[in-house]
Amino acid sequence: MSHNIAQILSKLGVQNINTGASTGQEWIETSGKKIGSFSPVNGNLIAEVNMAETADYESVLTEAQNAFVIWRKTPAPQRGEIVRKFGEELREYKQELGTLVSYEMGKSLQEGLGEVQEMIDICDFAVGLSRQLYGLTMHSERPAHRMYEQWHPLGIVGIISAFNFPVAVWAWNTALAWVCGDVCVWKPSEKAPLSGVACQKIITRVLERNNLPEGISSLIIGDAEIGKKMTNDTRVALISATGSTRMGKSVGEAVGKRLGKAILELGGNNAIIISEHADLDLVIPGVVFGAVGTAGQRCTSTRRLIIHESIFETMKEKLTKAYAQLRIGDPLDENNHVGPLIDKDAVAMYEQAIQKVHASGGKTIIEGEVLTGAGYESGCYVKPAIYEVENEYEIVCNETFAPILYLIKYSTIEDAIAKQNAVPQGLSSAIMTTNIRESELFLSVAGSDCGIANVNIGTSGAEIGGAFGGEKETGGGRESGSDAWKAYMRRQTNTINYSTELPLAQGIKFDLG
């Protein structure tokens, strides 16, 4: 095993793996079929994990239910203290966990370390939040009455995460859910199971040292069938699912049928509008990182550049020059900018998208190709591509999880905004301009229809302090900062009568004589 991964796994406590489920402290000896975690870096098998079966799932859910009865009674600041300790453990293992994420998923080492830093940041956010789970006090229309609202934990939160952020999105959910008094059951991506096992090992140590019940944090590795069990299970109060729009529609339908709650973080088809008033020194690094970071496998990756016609040719030249400087290869080598796609299925989708661009009449600026030869033995490395297209092409309206960038001309700012909004997805968006009228229009009600709208930064790289999520086929959910915590709790309105009479609201009289 290369890259000292064996040593890293040992330090993280991920060794002799044959289990795919944990109820907190206890690891269940599962007997389901094995899935192998293959690194897209070199194609090597890292380890195999047994998937959980129905009996294992039931054990996990039972322990989670039992833990919730205890955890919900723990004062929120004390719950926050456990999250703080979890954040300290993440600081200690940041290098190892970030390296594992990079090797198992294929993102650059800096992005892997950045993902763990996101986990640390959301823990810090949640610790402060644990003393701010506030409700409002309202004036009652009835004399000698008091009205207020309070927030209570939901119960079990089921988390279904995707391969592209194999650990951070779980932490976004768990850190908030835990301080809110919920317990969590996590199904990590079967394409990155070891990162999930490593995180569970870390939180397990925190739970053990603090004599906390099993089931506050549970892990269950499985395929789509386990995901279906979770989404249809009335014991799971909230499902937070990250993935494709197709998957999200299925989850939303299942959860909606049982009147459960869902947070859906689905596809993105993100655009940057490049105004003729843009500072091009800012534009190029923002665009290139947004388009090729994580090999284009972020939900916030930049897919479309909507460029003013007066600077269209200039932008093409600058992008061509910038792309010529990209180094593609082993993501653990910090000299490289672009690592591999997650697997050969992703490579096939990349190739199919390029074929559709050509069939639609797109013009090649930088042609895509699958890279072969020394250093590319896994078959998962591709060349970032750029094409000049029309916004209406079917392939442009769909999300391809790969480093393909589309360039589109516009003439007026209203035209640019209309083009940006004319796709089914609505996650992240940006405008590059020094014109305050354009930036304010972009952020106005007549502007971007996305959940995230930026000015003079790219579409990728959100901070945890803001609520993260999108509109339309992106799902409409919100995670991370701001008041996203409310999704993990139930609101209760309370009215207290401290008078000696029983007046009714709206002045209704009900006299029994």
Kindly tell me the burial class for residue 236, based on how many C-beta atoms sit within 10 Å of its own C-beta (0-12, 13-18, 19 or more).
buried
Q: What does DSSP say about strands 471-472 and 425-426: parallel, antiparallel, or unpaired?
A: antiparallel
Structure tokens that stand for 327 in this block:
């180094």
Cα angle vertex 366, ends 345, 429, to 5°? Answer: 75
Residue for token pair 């391809």 = 400
Token code pair at residue 52: 């959980």
Q: Which helix (H) or strand (E) holds 438?
A: helix 436-443
Single out the residue of 469, 420, 408 nearest to residue 446, CA to CA.
420
Phi, psi of 16 (to 5 degrees): 50, 50
Please report which helix (H) or strand (E) contains residue 413, including its range.
Answer: helix 413-421
Q: Which helix (H) or strand (E) holds 348?
A: helix 344-360
Find all residues with CB under 8 Å of 389, minimum gap 6, and list them: 357, 360, 362, 363, 396, 406, 407, 408
**Other Cβ atoms within 10 Å of 106 Cβ, number:** 32
Q: At what angle do helices 76-92 and 193-209 cross, to 10 degrees?
A: 130
Task: Please tell me the distance from the alpha carbon of residue 329 to that of residue 139, in angstroms, as a whole number.
Answer: 63
Within its chain, how far is the Cα of 71 from the centroid? Answer: 26
Q: What is the DSSP string of 200-214?
A: HHHHHHHHHHTTPPT
Give the residue from 121, 66, 60 showing the smallest Cα distance to 90.
121
- Distance, CA of 342 to CA of 347 (rounded, Å): 8
Amino acid sitting at position 274: I
Determine whether 471 is exposed, middle or buried from the number of CB atoms within 10 Å of its CB (0-12, 13-18, 19+). middle
Q: For residue 127, what are its two tokens?
A: 């610790």
CA separation for the pair 301, 268 (Å, rounded): 8
Catalytic residue among 123, 299, 380, 450: 299
Residue 92 among the catalytic residues:
no
Edge-to-edge strand list for the sheet holding 156-160 = 27-28, 21-22, 217-220, 183-187, 156-160, 236-242, 261-265
Q: From the candidates 104, 115, 265, 388, give the one annotated as an active-site residue.
A: 265
Q: Tell me, letter by letter, the H, E, C secondary structure of 237-252.
A: EEEEEECCHHHHHHHH
Closest CA to 104 of 211, 229, 10, 191: 191
Residue type, 359: A
Distance CA 165, CA 195 (A): 10
Q: Is 392 a catalytic residue?
A: no
Q: Which residues are catalytic?
A: 265, 299
